[in-house]
Chain A
Amino acid sequence: MTGSASIGVYVHIPFCASKCPYCDFYSLPPDGELADRYTEALCRAMERQPYGPLQADTLYLGGGTPSLLGLSRLSRLLEAAATHLNLSRDGEVTVEVNPGTVDRALLSGLRAAGCNRISVGVQSLSAGELAALGRVHSPRQATEALLAAHAAGFPHISADVMLGIPRQTGESLEMTLESLAALPIDHISAYLLKVEPDTPFGAMNAGALCPDEDSTARLYLDCVETLGRLGFPQYEISNFAPPEGQSRHNLKYWLCRPYLGLGPAAHSFMEGRRSYFPRDVHAFAAAEDPFSLAVEDGEGGDFAEYAMLRLRLAEGLNLQDAERRFGVDPLPILKKAEAMEEQGLVRVGDSTISLTPEGFLISNAVTGRLLF
């Protein structure tokens, strides 16, 4: 049974064949023995979770490269989730894959194990751009992976693209997006490349090769417009899909609903409190009770958080709701929103305020202005 009391579950699979130069997520090379122990630890964690009886209606297998865990282990996880977390039969189960590491067999296997949504890390359909990003797949492999996922029976298929990457232009982006839209997918995520200091990209100052700030802003706006035109309306700052294609799991983050994160670097928001596991898969795998490693990260879900997350959504923040839930006075916020509406950054509706694409570009500043 699904309902708003149902939680989302996120499982982090930190294995990657190689590390992309721009990535600063936690990941390490695959190791069969470790993978076994890690899988067992995850199952143990699900069994011993300290929150009492839970009802999950979404499960997200992220990474790293989750597919590197292998079918049998992934099945084991899904079973454990069904058993210990009451993952519902019509729950959304998402798995992330990379185009270079999937084939029909794996996709069928994943489908059979219970995955009903797949997210493919395409990034770009331009060979030059993929090379500059250090990705180990080709545009053709990406297209084939998406088609294969469809053939394997996945009802929901999503592709990730990146914006503001080296060599990208308005035309090349348009090409990537139009090609993707022609495929049988129902969701596209578009992220702006951020060059992080602790990554190889950061070390080599790759930022210098990327489109400049104004061009990147332009690319984002073009992306919104193009995808809207192609049947993928923007529903979140970085996510585009028709209503039936929206990611139920990720919506839990943005709607400030509870979720349980398992594995190193995974975050939870349960019972109004935030917590996370340290970035150490070895410790997690070895722990008798993995939850003993969890780090408290304070209370969550206050108005500021709630508003910040809601404003990521195209539908925005409902001020009446906010007033009811938090006792917040909507008037000062409304006033500021109206001022920013004149600048084209915000849309003011019937007691809701939402950001326009221009507003999304500087969402931190706009949110800050509205809230403080």
Chain B
Amino acid sequence: MADRRQNIRNFCIIAHIDHGKSTLADRLLEMTATVAQRDMEAQLLDNMDIERERGITIKARAVRLQYEARDGEVYVFNLIDTPGHVDFGYEVSRSLAACEGAILVVDASQGIEAQTLANTYLAIEHDLEVLPVINKIDLPSADPGRVAHEVEDIIGIPCMDAPRISAKNGIGIEDVLELIVREIPPPKGDEDAPLRALIFDSYYDSYKGVIVYIRVMDGVVRPGMTIRMMQTGAEFDVVEVGSMGASSLNPCGELYAGQVGYLTASIKTVQDTRVGDTVTGSDRPAPQPLEGYRPAMPMVFSGIYPLDGAKYADLKDALEKLRLNDASLTYEPETSAALGFGFRCGFLGLLHMEIIQERLEREYNLDLITTLPSVIYRLQLTNGTEVVIDNPTNYPDPVTIQSAREPFVKANIFSPATYIGTIMELCQQRRGIYLDTKYLDADRVELHYELPLNEIVYDFFDALKSRTRGYASFDYEMADYRDSKLVKLDILLNGDVVDALSFIAHTDSAYTRARRMAEKLKEHIPRQMFEVPIQAAVGGKIIARETVKALRKDVLAKCYGGDITRKKKLLEKQKEGKKRMRQLGSVEVPQEAFTAVLKLD
């Protein structure tokens, strides 16, 4: 029985963005004839358009490949494709927990970057065998020797004999396959023990219900069994088990310890299948669930509203559908005096938020307006209770607040050494706490800072990129909650508070943020028939102001020769413009202005 596992290899591919992870996955699929070359749509595993466009993987997928090695034996490879982005760290970690090894892809010209390290450390923490592979040797700027040294020096794993490949051109792929056979250990597991299978992903299919991706650790699962989700207690009858091909499901009779595959059990919603949960049998449940389960925690919140109030139901519908396949998306209805009826949505991070927004706009054809993203604050009130605030409009009366805490992250910033100064300046501006600087080599550094999450949640990444001409990259992980001096900033237009523009900030950055907001508003609010004071206030006290001058004169041209076309056109433009106007108190603001301001920078 132990033989069954000898020829199995469960592994994933980890890399920094664009180092070639997906291309390598494609080549592996091709070379193991798992999918005919002509059927290949480049990077098949990324089957969402957005993912493809942005070159990132969002949902983990797993594929079973078969490889006839040089030793004549046939091996079963389970390739688990992991999300590469820090927002989805938990999903990455559960995917890693399903593997025994990780192929670490490093770009031969870029060398080690933020996520190279982040993912490597994660893999090492999960006791995976990490096997480096140096990719893109076809590029003129490739320097595999240097990169191999880097890997050895910085990560501390042997790399001098690592395969040097070009996934794009299909060079060295066989070496990778052999490496997998040779160096990644087969899975262990006790088939006779009670069933314990790790859920590392799930996917909603309208015919089969939720398809649950599992790695069986112990025991066996078969159709007909009644299973139980150990964290939620929910029970289901297994309808089907099998393995995943590149684009289809292949049912089989059972999945045993050491295997990776899927099961279906007429499960209606992905909320019933939590990533990291343990599947066990109802009849003979395992005494303990597998380690490492964590409920998905939204980190960043924002209000999402339909531009056209009449589309509220469409938005609700769309969010419901998105949630079918995204258990980490949370939302609940909310209203805003300025924006009408919408939803307060919780995301794992900024990228998650952007992706959801884009999908809503693109796949469901919705024009949206979103508020500034906010994080979760913890406030201790004078009456002894603690409140958790994710929405500035729920900020309590400052008089009742005894103390406040905000989330901090630990950020690792990679950059060429020349930009150290400007990066430090940026971090300082964002209330960063300097930890240390590590020189990766003569030209590259890794800076460590602790930063408040709320300071990086808007445009830190863009600011970093623009200060370093795009060369810097960064990665962060949640650190802890720290005491903070918070204030709530309100924006008033012509004396009326516009709730959608309120935000919570640290006392130290309140003034700068208020000024930026006021200036941006002044730039975008068109002149009205009266002067419009724009004010930013903290607890009723104005700390910044700008004024939009009243409209003084518009066009007074002749109606020459009976030609009223210009006047007519102007009128028509006004009529069109009205449709896109939002009334914020007594001030009319065109849609574009509002969106521009909310994007802030």
Q: 1/0 per position for A1-27, CB-CB distance to B under 8 A?
A: 000000010101000000000000100
B297 CB within 8 Å of chain A: no
In the complex, what distance in Å separates the CA atom of A213 from the CA atom of B529? Answer: 15
> What residues on B are CB-neighbors of A364 within 8 Å?
554-555, 567, 570-571, 574
Dominant secondary structure of chain B at its interface with chain A? loop
A56 CB to nearest chain B CB (Å) = 13
B352 CB to nearest chain A CB (Å) = 40
**Contact across chains for B558 and A276 when beta carbons are under 8 A apart:** no
Interface residue ranges of B567-590 to A (CB < 8 Å): 567-568, 570-571, 574-575, 578
B36 CB within 8 Å of chain A: no
> What residues on B are CB-neighbors of A309 within 8 Å?
564
In the complex, what distance in Å separates the CA atom of A92 from the CA atom of B269? Answer: 82
A301 CB to nearest chain B CB (Å) = 11
- Residue among B556, B559, B568 with the most chain A CB within 10 A? B556
Q: A189's closest neighbor in chain B, by CB?
A: B558
B557 CB within 8 Å of chain A: yes
A365 in contact with B529 given A305-B564, A309-B564 (CB within 8 Å) = yes
Q: B562's closest neighbor in chain A, by CB?
A: A267
Q: 1/0 per position for A258-288, CB-CB distance to B under 8 A?
A: 0101000111110000101000000000000
> What residues on A are CB-neighbors of B529 within 8 Å?
340, 343, 345, 362, 365-366, 369
Q: B568's closest neighbor in chain A, by CB?
A: A305
In the complex, what distance in Å separates the CA atom of A194 from the CA atom of B555? Answer: 8
In the complex, what distance in Å separates the CA atom of A113 from the CA atom of B565? Answer: 33
Number of A-B contacts (CB under 8 A): 102
A191 CB to nearest chain B CB (Å) = 6
- Residue among B562, B565, B574, B575 with the most chain A CB within 10 A? B562
**Contact across chains for A276 and B563 when beta carbons are under 8 A apart:** yes
**Contact across chains for A214 and B578 when beta carbons are under 8 A apart:** no
> What residues on B are CB-neighbors of A363 within 8 Å?
554, 556
Find A25's partner among B559, B560, B565, B568 (CB 8 Å cutoff). B560
> What residues on A are CB-neighbors of B555 within 8 Å?
192, 194, 364
A310 CB to nearest chain B CB (Å) = 12
> What residues on A are CB-neighbors of B552 within 8 Å?
213-214, 217, 361-362
B551 CB within 8 Å of chain A: yes
> What residues on A are CB-neighbors of B554 within 8 Å?
361-365
Q: 1/0 per position for B519-546, CB-CB distance to A under 8 A?
A: 0000000000110000000000000000
**Contact across chains for B563 and A238 when beta carbons are under 8 A apart:** no
In the complex, what distance in Å separates the CA atom of A312 from the CA atom of B567? Answer: 11
**Contact across chains for B557 and A267 when beta carbons are under 8 A apart:** no
A367 CB within 8 Å of chain B: yes
**Contact across chains for A194 and B553 when beta carbons are under 8 A apart:** no
**Contact across chains for A268 and B575 when beta carbons are under 8 A apart:** no
**Contact across chains for A368 and B556 when beta carbons are under 8 A apart:** no
B421 CB within 8 Å of chain A: no
- Residue among A25, A192, A362 with the most chain B CB within 10 A? A362
> What residues on B are CB-neighbors of A268 within 8 Å?
562
A152 CB to nearest chain B CB (Å) = 25
A235 CB within 8 Å of chain B: no
> What residues on A are CB-neighbors of B561 within 8 Å?
10, 12, 25, 62, 261, 265-267
A51 CB within 8 Å of chain B: no
In the complex, what distance in Å separates the CA atom of A131 from the CA atom of B477? Answer: 71
> What residues on B are CB-neighbors of A194 within 8 Å?
555-557
Q: B527's closest neighbor in chain A, by CB?
A: A365
B549 CB to nearest chain A CB (Å) = 9
A304 CB within 8 Å of chain B: yes
In the complex, what distance in Å separates the CA atom of A213 from the CA atom of B554? Answer: 9
Q: B571's closest neighbor in chain A, by CB?
A: A308
In the complex, what distance in Å separates the CA atom of A297 from the CA atom of B569? Answer: 12
> What residues on A are CB-neighbors of B575 within 8 Å?
304, 368, 371-372
> What residues on B are CB-neighbors of A214 within 8 Å?
552
Find B562's partner among A238, A266, A369 (CB 8 Å cutoff). A266
**Contact across chains for A308 and B562 when beta carbons are under 8 A apart:** no
> What residues on B are CB-neighbors of A253 within 8 Å?
559, 562, 564
Q: 1/0 per position for A85-123, CB-CB distance to B under 8 A?
A: 000000000000000000000000000000000000000
B576 CB to nearest chain A CB (Å) = 9
A66 CB to nearest chain B CB (Å) = 12
**Contact across chains for A254 and B559 when beta carbons are under 8 A apart:** yes
A232 CB within 8 Å of chain B: no
A328 CB to nearest chain B CB (Å) = 15
A360 CB within 8 Å of chain B: yes
A220 CB within 8 Å of chain B: yes
**Contact across chains for A368 and B565 when beta carbons are under 8 A apart:** no
In the complex, what distance in Å separates the CA atom of A214 from the CA atom of B550? Answer: 10
**Contact across chains for B558 and A191 when beta carbons are under 8 A apart:** yes
A216 CB within 8 Å of chain B: yes
In the complex, what distance in Å separates the CA atom of A10 from the CA atom of B559? Answer: 12
B515 CB to nearest chain A CB (Å) = 26
**Contact across chains for A265 and B563 when beta carbons are under 8 A apart:** yes
In the complex, what distance in Å separates the CA atom of A217 from the CA atom of B557? Answer: 14
A145 CB to nearest chain B CB (Å) = 20
> What residues on B are CB-neighbors of A141 within 8 Å?
none
> What residues on A are CB-neighbors of B560 within 8 Å?
25, 62
In the complex, what distance in Å separates the CA atom of A250 from the CA atom of B575? Answer: 26
> What residues on B are CB-neighbors of A25 within 8 Å?
560-561
In the complex, what distance in Å separates the CA atom of A312 from the CA atom of B552? Answer: 17
In the complex, what distance in Å separates the CA atom of A10 from the CA atom of B557? Answer: 18
Q: 1/0 per position for A233-268, CB-CB distance to B under 8 A?
A: 000011000000000001001100001010001111
**Contact across chains for B563 and A308 when beta carbons are under 8 A apart:** no
**Contact across chains for A368 and B578 when beta carbons are under 8 A apart:** yes
B97 CB to nearest chain A CB (Å) = 60
Interface residue ranges of A203-236 to B (CB < 8 Å): 213-214, 216-217, 220
> What residues on A are CB-neighbors of B562 within 8 Å?
8, 10, 253, 259, 261, 266-269
Interface residue ranges of A36-75 to B (CB < 8 Å): 62
Q: B574's closest neighbor in chain A, by CB?
A: A368
**Contact across chains for A297 and B574 when beta carbons are under 8 A apart:** no
Q: A367's closest neighbor in chain B, by CB?
A: B571
Q: B572's closest neighbor in chain A, by CB?
A: A304
Q: B576's closest neighbor in chain A, by CB?
A: A372
**Contact across chains for B553 and A220 when beta carbons are under 8 A apart:** yes
**Contact across chains for B571 and A371 when beta carbons are under 8 A apart:** yes
**Contact across chains for B565 and A297 when beta carbons are under 8 A apart:** yes
> What residues on B are CB-neighbors of A361 within 8 Å?
552-554, 556
> What residues on B are CB-neighbors of A340 within 8 Å?
529
> What residues on A are CB-neighbors of B556 within 8 Å?
191-192, 194, 220, 237-238, 360-361, 363
B322 CB to nearest chain A CB (Å) = 36
A199 CB to nearest chain B CB (Å) = 13
> What residues on B are CB-neighbors of A62 within 8 Å?
560-561
> What residues on A are CB-neighbors of B564 within 8 Å?
253, 267, 274, 305, 309
A127 CB to nearest chain B CB (Å) = 24
B545 CB to nearest chain A CB (Å) = 21
A162 CB to nearest chain B CB (Å) = 11
Q: B573's closest neighbor in chain A, by CB?
A: A368
A81 CB to nearest chain B CB (Å) = 16
In the complex, what distance in Å separates the CA atom of A18 from the CA atom of B398? Answer: 72
Q: B558's closest neighbor in chain A, by CB?
A: A191
7 smallest beta-carbon distances between A and B, as pairs: A368-B574, A267-B562, A364-B554, A192-B556, A267-B563, A372-B578, A361-B553
Between A and B, 17 residue pairs with Cβ closer than 8 Å are A10-B561, A191-B557, A191-B558, A237-B556, A254-B559, A259-B562, A268-B562, A274-B564, A304-B575, A312-B559, A343-B529, A361-B556, A362-B552, A363-B554, A363-B556, A365-B529, A366-B529
Interface residues of B (CB under 8 A from A): 529-530, 551-565, 567-568, 570-571, 574-575, 578
Given contacts A238-B558, A361-B553, A364-B567, 14 further A-B contacts (CB under 8 A): A25-B560, A191-B556, A191-B558, A194-B555, A214-B552, A220-B556, A253-B562, A261-B561, A267-B565, A305-B564, A362-B552, A364-B554, A365-B554, A372-B578
Interface residues of A (CB under 8 A from B): 8, 10, 12, 25, 62, 191-192, 194, 213-214, 216-217, 220, 237-238, 250, 253-254, 259, 261, 265-269, 274, 276, 297, 304-305, 308-309, 312, 340, 343, 345, 360-369, 371-372
